[in-house]
Amino acid sequence: FLSHSLQAKMSRPVQARRLEGIDKNIWVDFVKLAATYSKVNLGQGFPDFPAPDFLTEAFARALSGGNHMLHQYTRAFGHPPLVKVLAQFFEKLLGRDVDPMTNVMVTVGAYQALFCCFQALVDEGDEVIIIEPFFDCYEPMVKMAGGTPVFIPLRPNPPKDGKLMSSADWQLDPAELASKFNERTKAIVLNSPNNPLGKVFSRGELGLIAELCVKHDVLCISDEVYEWLVYDGKQHIRIASLEGMWDRTVIIGSAGKTFSVTGWKVGWVVGPDRLLQHLRTVHQNSVYHCATIAQEAVAQGFQRELMLYGKPESYFVQLPKELQQKRDWLVQSLNGVGMKPIIPEGTFFLVADISHFKSDVPDVPNSDEPYDYRFTKWMVKNKGLAAIPLSAFYSEAHKNNYTNFIRFCFAKDDATLKAANDILQKWKQEKTS
Ligand code: PMP
């Protein structure tokens, strides 16, 4: 009798409706696959080389130095030394006044910054434009806020001269972009440099987006976590510095990417108080604040970088220099085996074309699983090399057009990249023998 009544009480759904359709997550699946099978993991985006000494030393000092208050709560919207130095830094980058208390907020990684943006700024029925391919959490976060994502793909234009494609060859169609803006559009998510392609949006492209934002009174959520990882002398341009954009833009950054400490989960937002005041409401009612010691150490890291700004010893100069070499190395390695790389202008990711490997992992027509998912799973299980399928970065509607590519992360030790090259070379030999 008892068990019957208990069963009856458990028959209604326990989950909130806002979770419908967003329960799947690529990272949960692929991180597990990589942990189980990979010998070389170029999948998830994190460096496997050490963080800079000046930063880990700052953390150690914060942990065991004289200031025991660093083990306690700090200011909810950001540890004062960190928001102060971020404000100073962004004043330099944007050429405008930035108030540490009202124009900066520290978050638990860029991930929570994104969550605060969508929860604070997007309402039921609002449309949010997302440029494909996109960092996958944008879509479920918009939906959780009750909004409707509207997707626009970057369109590839392969160079005709037989050269390798560059991420710059993936472009927005201006008319198509304009057609996505209407009276329901609340915001556009911009991610430059873009994960997964590595595209660094040009001033012209940003100008076009800015013009449409201003014309339609649309906000811009600008995910700039890879702002320092730009190559070949290209420049990262901040859309907030374009005319009319500061007042409608939230800039998002991450110490994880900036200082190679993804596990610390320190991120930030920079923007006008009229937007940030609402992000603070979400933040104070969800996580309240991020670990004090990590914030203190990141503050010291930025103080060092402020002093060395533009100098050769600056980590923001050294890291991209090292990563560019790693990029070039992986480009060569992939090109050598016929897995054509798309040369990224920024980030630590690289997308490669797997069309020539189709004979190894044959297509299964009418399968629910996109080809690149199957290929990536096969590769990690049979070759021990982990990557991420590109179609994971597309909406359901557009996924099937982009199943011949996979994404590699090259923020890896030279030994890791060499081990990846060994796997690819051996694979090529097996194919030809
Ligand atoms: N945005 C983009 C584009 C990213 O690639 C990532 C991390 N992969 C994040 C945000 C999240 O950053 P964090 O680790 O600081 O939460």
User: What is the per-residue pLDDT across 18-72, written as a single tens digit (0 to 9) for each?
Assistant: 998 888 888 888 999 999 999 999 999 999 999 999 999 999 999 999 899 999 9
Place of tokens 């790389």: 341
Fold assignment, 53-308: Aspartate Aminotransferase; domain 2 (3.40.640)
Distance of CA 433 to the CA centre of its chain: 40
For 7, 35, 99, 110, 185, the CA distances from 29, given in Å and listed in that order, are: 31, 10, 41, 22, 33
Q: Which atom of ligand 1 is nearest to the CA of 108?
A: 16
Neighbours of 280 (CB within 10 A): 19
Q: How far apart are CA 43 and CA 410, in angstroms?
A: 9
Q: Identify the band that residue 2 occupies on the pLDDT scale cut at 50, 70 and 90.
A: low
pLDDT digits (tens, 9 = 90+) for 118-138: 999 999 999 999 999 999 999
Each residue's pLDDT tens digit, 126-177? 999 999 999 999 999 999 999 999 999 999 998 888 899 999 999 999 999 9
Please state, in angstroms and rounded to a whole number, the distance separating the CA atoms of residues 304 and 320: 17
SS3 content of the chain, % helix, strand, coil (to 5): 45, 15, 40
| Range name among 156-160, 196-200, 224-228 with the lowest pLDDT average | 156-160
Which has the minimum average pLDDT: 17-31, 176-190, 399-413? 17-31
**Residues counted in the chain:** 433
User: To test ligand 1's pocket by mutation, which of 191, 225, 251 has the most ligand atoms within 8 angstroms of CB?
Assistant: 225
Reply yes or no on whether the pLDDT at 250 is more than 60. yes
Whether residue 4 has pLDDT greater than 70: no
Among the listed residues 153, 110, 145, 111, the one whose alpha carbon sits nearest the alpha carbon of residue 128 = 145
Say whether pLDDT at 5 is over 80. no
Ligand 1 centroid–CA 268 distance in Å is 11
pLDDT of residue 12: 85
Mean pLDDT, range 321-326, rounded to an integer:
98
What spacing in Å lies between the alpha carbon of 100 and ligand 1's midpoint?
23
Mean pLDDT across the chain, nearest whole number?
Answer: 95
Question: Quick one: CA torsion of 408, 199, 306, 293, rounded to 10 degrees?
Answer: -40
Atom 5 of ligand 1, residue of closest alpha carbon: 195
Percent over 70 (pLDDT), the chain: 98
Question: CB within 6 Å of ligand 1 — which residues?
Answer: 45, 109-111, 135, 191, 195, 223, 225, 254, 256, 262, 265, 267
% of the chain residues with pLDDT over 90: 88
C-beta separation of 201 from 347 below 8 A: no
Exposure pattern of 109-141 as b/e (b: 16+ CB <10 Å)? bbbbbbbbbbbbbbeeebbbbbbbbbbbbbbbb
Q: Which amino acid is at 219?
A: L
pLDDT of residue 362: 83
β-strand pairing of 185-191 with 219-223:
parallel
pTM as predicted:
0.96
Residue that has been written with the tokens 């990224």 in this structure: 344
CB 252 within 8 A of CB 224: yes
CATH 3.90.1150.10 domain residues, the chain: 23-51+315-432
Segment 79-94, tens digit of pLDDT = 999 999 999 999 999 9
Backbone dihedral region of 176: left (phi > 0), alpha (psi from -120 to 50 degrees) or beta? Answer: alpha
Looking from the CA of 24 toward its CB, the CA atoms found within 13 Å total: 7
On the 0-12 / 13-18 / 19+ scale of CB atoms within 10 A, 165 is: middle
User: Where in the chain do CATH 3.40.640.10 domains reside?
Assistant: 53-308
pLDDT band at 95 (very low <50, low <70, confident <90, very high): very high
Q: pLDDT at position 92, please?
A: 97
CB 298 within 8 Å of CB 264: yes
pLDDT of 143: 96
Distances (CA, A) of 63 to 10, 55, 58, 294, 295: 46, 12, 9, 9, 11
Atom of ligand 1 nearest to the CA of 265: 15
Residues contacting residue 91 through CB under 8 Å, at least 6 positions apart: 97, 98
Which token pair is 106?
């520290």
For domain 23-51+315-432, give the CATH superfamily: Aspartate Aminotransferase, domain 1 (3.90.1150.10)
**Which mutation among 195, 264, 268 tests ligand 1's pocket best, with the greatest number of atoms within 8 A of CB?**
195
